[in-house]
A and B are shown apart, each in its own frame.
Chain A
Amino acid sequence: AQKITQTQPGMFVQEKEAVTLDCTYDTSDQSYGLFWYKQPSSGEMIFLIYQGSYDEQNATEGRYSLNFQKARKSANLVISASQLGDSAMYFCATHGNTDKLIFGTGTRLQVFP
């Protein structure tokens, strides 16, 4: 069975600062992947970044990077230079041997000027 834990219900960050959103996972699969999605108030889930369990380097996509620590089973999202438009819910998710994604409960990020 797979499980995602996001322990931060809400986070605040000032514009232009960096912020880290925490995610820990639990899986019995040898091969798995980790996702981060952004969900604005409109409801659409926006794909941000993906890390495969066998990828040795941390994934990066523009201002987003995934701090993957396999031994600690953590996959934290780092957003550099926060923007007001980054205010949204952020979900961490994992897949194992199937397409089924298991999501965490999410972290609401609020960026203030």
Chain B
Amino acid sequence: KAGVTQTPRYLIKTRGQQVTLSCSPISGHRSVSWYQQTPGQGLQFLFEYFSETQRNKGNFPGRFSGRQFSNSRSEMNVSTLELGDSALYLCASRTGLAGRGSYEQYFGPGTRLTVT
């Protein structure tokens, strides 16, 4: 079974631009979560989607948004990029259904965003 895939793997943007990152979950997984990892703040939860609905949201400004499609693929968008948005963005998927193993989250390789 293929793992979680994220595209692109690396991205360089300039301040003020916007960016869209993509995540394809493991086949059959319906829940997708996004995390930001920086040296200063560590790993922080951005948001979680299940069946195209946002179920949870972290403490990030409105410039960070996301969505999920009917095939469970998810995108996150960051508008008006700031230097502080430079980070590794990780997405994780899980089944989202009840049962043994339902809480196990599997991460993709991440997208490394650099804002200059």
Q: Which of B15-23, B60-68, B86-94 contacts A (4 or more CB under 8 A)?
A: B86-94
Residue in A37, A43, A50, A52 whose beta carbon sits within 8 Å of that of B109 in the complex: A43
By DSSP majority rule, is chain A's interface helix, strand, loop, or mixed? Answer: strand
A100 to B92, CA, bound (A): 11
What sequence of 0s and 1s flags, for each residue 37-51 of chain A, a beta carbon within 8 Å of any chain B beta carbon? 100001111110010
Counting residue pairs across A and B whose Cβ atoms lie within 8 Å, the total is: 59
Chain B residue at minimal CB-CB distance from A99? B48
Interface centre among B45, B50, B94 (most CB of A within 10 A): B45
Interface size class of B (residues with CB under 8 A): 20 to 34
Residue of B nearest to A31 (CB): B103
Interface size on A, residues (CB 8 A): 22
A106 to B42, Cβ gap below 8 A?
yes
- Chain B residues near A100 (CB, 8 Å)? 33, 45, 48, 56, 58
Contact B48 A91, beta carbon cutoff 8 Å? no
Q: Are A103 and B107 within 8 A (Cβ)?
A: no
Binding site for A on B (CB under 8 A): 31, 33, 35, 42-43, 45, 48, 50, 55-56, 58, 88, 90, 92, 94, 96, 101, 103-110, 112
Interface residues of A, Cβ cutoff 8 Å to B: 33, 35, 37, 42-47, 50, 52, 91, 93, 95, 98-103, 105-106
